[in-house]
């Protein structure tokens, strides 16, 4: 096989970012070279996201732009993977007939071979089986190392929850946990390569170990990972509120290395909407979890996801969501207007919220969250945090950027050589998305 220059464009979530990093590593190991722009690439791969309608449209308009590159250089291999590709399969070729390769969320490990199949026969290839070869995929994840002080580790694939608005169970397949010993081995290898912080990734890590049965549960996995020599920080995402156990909540207080931040998507502050979304918890249950988390780990940061304009959401139900925000005061929030995804249960609901109402609700919600994020960040001013330095900062020369245990970004005067080390930093000025600080001790 020739040595090719490849370019990967990633849309969507951390899971996709991680898949792209794994794919890049796999292609590099075959002797190919990652490049920064599509213009100079022999292989262009889009790793797509289907969560929102607009994300899908973005993919097709981006493909339209790559079409011009292919017209100039027909030998380019243009591939589409990820959730849109998984959901659409061959339909991608109908909408964008100049695409050469469609690969799915569980055929990542086959991409080098598929690219070669396209190149050798100049034919279109579609490989989107969800049960392709789970062992080969798991081996690929186990083999893909992180770069820099932080790395992601995919602990499970897929999701069985079928929230009414969500396409993930259809495009990422059934829930499947990776064996714990393999994961711990992967974390050991990452630590040996200089990684000090790992984030365990899954659509719902709280149900880790249930499918297939026989594995340890998630709190136990967390304890094993945190015990690996060299690993100083452990994070995880995402947690489903219906599965957040007392044991896992206790891990925040009991397991050194488990960082005080949890992303706990609530989605709505109204019980009727939560039921319609098939979330299987109530607002009271959610608030109970928040109360327990904060009682056991008072410095914990809480972030969440909220959807506005789910079909049938009334003004009063939206006000209930704002009331929940006032009660919790989240550190950060990902908020979205509901968008219909074909094939999901919510697609059958007949009482859509008008677009203008959704927009107005989203704007109100985001204004309120802006105030809350600032309030939570200002509470950090004057306090000293251990900041893990990730590298140079965008804010200017002589500044480095790192994260507090709560996952908050702090910029301060320092040296890039401090990368992967923890520095005590006093926060001097907080803003909505990041803070400024000053080092008050040596890098450890
Ligand atoms: S838990 Fe619900 S929202 Fe999350 S991936 Fe699964 S179905 Fe989608």
pLDDT in tens, 275-287: 999 999 999 999 9
Write the burial class of residue 10 (CB in 10 Å: 0-12 exposed, 13-18 middle, 19+ buried): buried
**Is the CB of residue 341 below 6 angstroms from any atom belonging to ligand 1?**
no
**Is the CB of residue 259 below 6 angstroms from any atom belonging to ligand 1?**
no
> Residue 134: inside a domain, yes or no?
no
What is the Å distance from ligand 1's center to 378 Cα?
Answer: 32
**Mean pLDDT computed over 14-39:** 87
CA 174 from centre of chain: 18
State which of 259, 280, 300 marks the end of a domain.
Answer: 259
Q: Does 406 lie in the same domain as 304? A: no
**Is the CB of residue 237 below 6 angstroms from any atom belonging to ligand 1?**
no
**Is the CB of residue 161 below 6 angstroms from any atom belonging to ligand 1?**
yes
Query: How many whole angstroms separate alpha carbon 251 and alpha carbon 152?
Result: 20
DSSP state of 37: S
- What sign for the dihedral angle of Cα 264, 268, 274, 277? negative
Supply the CATH number for residue 91's domain. 3.40.50.12160
DSSP state of 352: P
Tokens of residue 307, six digits: 């959807």
Tokens of residue 4, six digits: 């090719």
> Residue 139: inside a domain, yes or no?
no
> Residue 393: inside a domain, yes or no?
yes
Cα separations in angstroms, 184 against 71, 144, 222, 224, 427: 47, 14, 10, 7, 35
Query: How many whole angstroms separate alpha carbon 360 and alpha carbon 95?
Result: 33
> Residue 431: inside a domain, yes or no?
yes
CB atoms within 10 A of CB 187: 25
Top mutation candidate among 163, 206, 210 for ligand 1, by most atoms within 8 Å of CB: 163
> Residue 79: inside a domain, yes or no?
yes
**Domain membership of residue 330 as a residue range:** 261-379
Q: Does 54 lie in the same domain as 19? A: yes
- What sign for the dihedral angle of Cα 128, 133, 138, 141? negative
**Mean pLDDT computed over 414-440:** 94
**Phi/psi at 121 (5° precision):** -115, -5
CA 428 from centre of chain: 30
pLDDT in tens, 142-193: 655 555 788 889 999 899 999 999 998 998 889 999 999 999 999 999 999 8
> Residue 147's pLDDT is what?
59
Q: Does 255 lie in the same domain as 266? A: no
Mean pLDDT for the chain? Answer: 92
**Residue at token pair 């030998």:** 75
Residue 240 alpha carbon, nearest atom of ligand 1: 1
**Mean pLDDT computed over 372-393:** 95
> Residue 221: inside a domain, yes or no?
yes
**Is the CB of residue 50 below 6 angstroms from any atom belonging to ligand 1?**
no
- Range list of H helices, 96-228: 111-121, 134-143, 168-171, 180-192, 218-226
Helix (H) / strand (E) containing 153: strand 150-154
pLDDT higher at 45 or 55 = 45
Residue 166 alpha carbon, nearest atom of ligand 1: 8
DSSP string, 333-382: EEEEE----TTSGGGG---PPPHHHHHHHHHHHHHHHHHHHHHHHHTTTT
pLDDT in tens, 341-360: 889 999 999 999 999 999 99
> Residue 143's pLDDT is what?
59
pLDDT higher at 120 or 267 = 267
Judged by DSSP in three states, 425 sits in strand
Number of domains the chain is built from: 4
């Amino acid at each position: 096989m020739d040595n090719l220059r490849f370019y990967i464009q990633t849309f969507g979530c951390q899971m996709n970012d991680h898949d792209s990093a794994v794919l890049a590593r796999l292609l590099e190991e075959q002797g190919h070279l990652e490049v920064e722009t599509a213009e100079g690439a022999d292989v262009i791969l889009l790793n797509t996201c289907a969560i929102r309608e607009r994300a899908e449209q973005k993919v097709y308009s981006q493909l339209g732009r790559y079409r011009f590159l292919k017209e100039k250089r027909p030998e380019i291999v243009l591939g589409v993977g990820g959730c849109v590709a998984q959901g659409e399969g061959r339909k991608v070729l109908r909408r964008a007939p100049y695409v050469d390769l469609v690969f799915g969320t569980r055929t990542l490990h086959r991409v080098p071979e598929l690219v070669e199949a396209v190149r050798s026969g100049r034919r279109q290839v579609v490989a989107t089986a969800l049960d392709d070869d789970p062992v080969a995929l798991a081996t690929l994840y186990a083999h893909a190392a992180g770069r820099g002080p932080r790395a992601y580790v995919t602990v499970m694939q897929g999701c069985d929850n079928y929230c009414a608005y969500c396409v993930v169970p259809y495009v990422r397949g059934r829930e499947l946990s990776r064996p714990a010993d393999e994961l711990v081995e992967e974390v050991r290898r990452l630590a040996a390569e200089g990684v000090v912080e790992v984030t365990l990734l899954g659509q719902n890590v709280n149900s880790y170990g249930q499918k297939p049965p026989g594995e340890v549960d998630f709190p136990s996995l967390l304890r094993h990972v945190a015990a690996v020599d060299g690993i100083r920080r452990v994070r995880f995402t995402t947690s489903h509120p219906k599965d957040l156990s007392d044991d896992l909540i206790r891990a925040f207080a009991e397991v050194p290395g488990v960082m005080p931040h949890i992303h706990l998507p609530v989605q709505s502050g109204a019980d009727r909407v939560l039921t319609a979304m098939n979330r299987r918890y109530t607002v009271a249950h959610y608030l109970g979890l928040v109360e327990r988390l904060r009682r056991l780990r008072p410095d914990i940061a809480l972030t969440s996801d909220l959807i506005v304009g789910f079909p049938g959401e009334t003004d009063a139900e939206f006000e209930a969501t704002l009331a929940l925000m006032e009660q919790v005061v989240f550190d950060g929030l990902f908020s979205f207007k509901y968008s219909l995804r074909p094939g999901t249960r919510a697609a059958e609901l007949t009482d859509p919220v008008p677009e203008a109402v959704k927009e107005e609700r989203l704007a109100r919600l985001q204004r309120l969250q802006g105030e809350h994020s600032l309030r939570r960040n200002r509470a950090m001013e004057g306090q000293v945090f251990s900041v893990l330095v990730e590298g140079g900062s965008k804010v200017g020369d002589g500044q480095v950027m790192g994260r507090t245990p709560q996952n908050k970004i702090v910029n301060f005067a320092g040296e890039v050589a401090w990368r992967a080390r923890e520095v005590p930093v006093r926060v001097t000025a907080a803003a909505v998305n990041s803070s400024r600080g000053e080092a008050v001790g040596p890098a450890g």
